[in-house]
Amino acid sequence: MAQRETSDGRTMRPAPAPHSRGVLWRICKSGLLVCAISALALVIGFAVFTRHVPMHEVTLSRDGDAIVALTGGASRITDAIELLAAGRGKRLLISGANPATNSHEISRLNPEFEKWVWCCVDFDRSVNTLGNAIEIRKWAERRGFQSLVVVTSNYHMPRALAEIRHQIPQATLVPFPVVAERQRVGPWWSNALTMRLMISEYVKLIFARLRMAINPGAQARELT
């Protein structure tokens, strides 16, 4: 459309065509719809996630060939050693242990379990949940373990199970979630720290599942 000049010499730009305005409005409306659907999906997904996070200690449904404890809280290690001493697994891997966590230190803190610590506990120094899963796979394959009792915090359990299953899909995983005291006394939304942990774990789980979808199946082994 040609431009026009006014009587005072200014150039007048033509108004946008009605068709162009209609296209822009449809694009904006589609974008808003996509955002609304995505937000709804995230909310529903978070609701499903929270329903799968146990808020109470569980009774193991079965024993495992071995036990794996993903570090991040002192009670995880203690609970895992208690399971080992009770015969719920033949051996224990403490995955993601820092250098200060070793047989000497655990025996000092848990003298009643010293016998089991020195005979049947292994360590790895992985730094994140994916690293935990990779080291757990190596350890389980090296020792021929087919079923694992998984010990970690309740809010961390969904992502831990997803990462381990991605690495060793043929293994049977038996979850043993550790519930912090503050989570036992009230619902998760009543405590700001617990709420942040739940939201953070949900976001991390989404990104982990996206990564697994992009790199499915046996390709996970290439990460090692």
What CATH number corresponds to the domain at position 106? 3.40.50
In a domain, 210, yes or no: yes
Q: What is the pLDDT of residue 54?
A: 79
Q: What is the pLDDT of residue 190?
A: 79
Q: What is the pLDDT of residue 220?
A: 45
In a domain, 19, yes or no: no
Residue 174 has pLDDT above 90, yes or no: yes
Task: Sort strands 4-5 and 11-12 into parallel, antiparallel or unpaired.
Answer: antiparallel
**Each residue of 30-51: b (16+ CB within 10 Å) or e?**
eeeeeeeeeeeeeeeebeebbe
In this prediction, residue 209 has a pLDDT band, given cuts at 50, 70 and 90, of: very high
CB-hemisphere CA count at 13 Å for 115?
5
Comparing 31-45, 87-101, 166-180, the range with the smallest average pLDDT is 31-45
In a domain, 25, yes or no: no
Q: What is the pLDDT of residue 8?
A: 55
In a domain, 17, yes or no: no
Assess contact for 63 and 92: CB atoms under 8 A: no
Question: In the 3-class helix/strand/coil scheme, how is 204-217 assigned residue by residue?
Answer: HHHHHHHHHHHCCH
In a domain, 169, yes or no: yes
In this prediction, residue 218 has a pLDDT band, given cuts at 50, 70 and 90, of: very low
What average pLDDT does this structure show over 113-133? 94
Comparing 23-32, 99-108, 163-172, the range with the smallest average pLDDT is 23-32
Residue 143 has pLDDT above 80, yes or no: yes
Q: What is the pLDDT of residue 223?
A: 41
* Number of domains composing the chain: 1
What average pLDDT does this structure show over 158-177? 95
Range of the domain at 90: 66-223
Interatomic CA distance for residues 160 and 146, integer angstroms:
17
What average pLDDT does this structure show over 138-166? 95
pTM above 0.85, yes or no: no
What are the residues facing 68 on neighbouring strands?
93, 150
In a domain, 102, yes or no: yes
What average pLDDT does this structure show over 159-178? 95
**CA distances (Å), 183 to each of 31, 157, 194, in order?**
39, 15, 7
123: its two tokens: 């360590």
Interatomic CA distance for residues 160 and 76, integer angstroms:
13
In this prediction, residue 69 has a pLDDT band, given cuts at 50, 70 and 90, of: very high
In this prediction, residue 142 has a pLDDT band, given cuts at 50, 70 and 90, of: very high
In a domain, 156, yes or no: yes
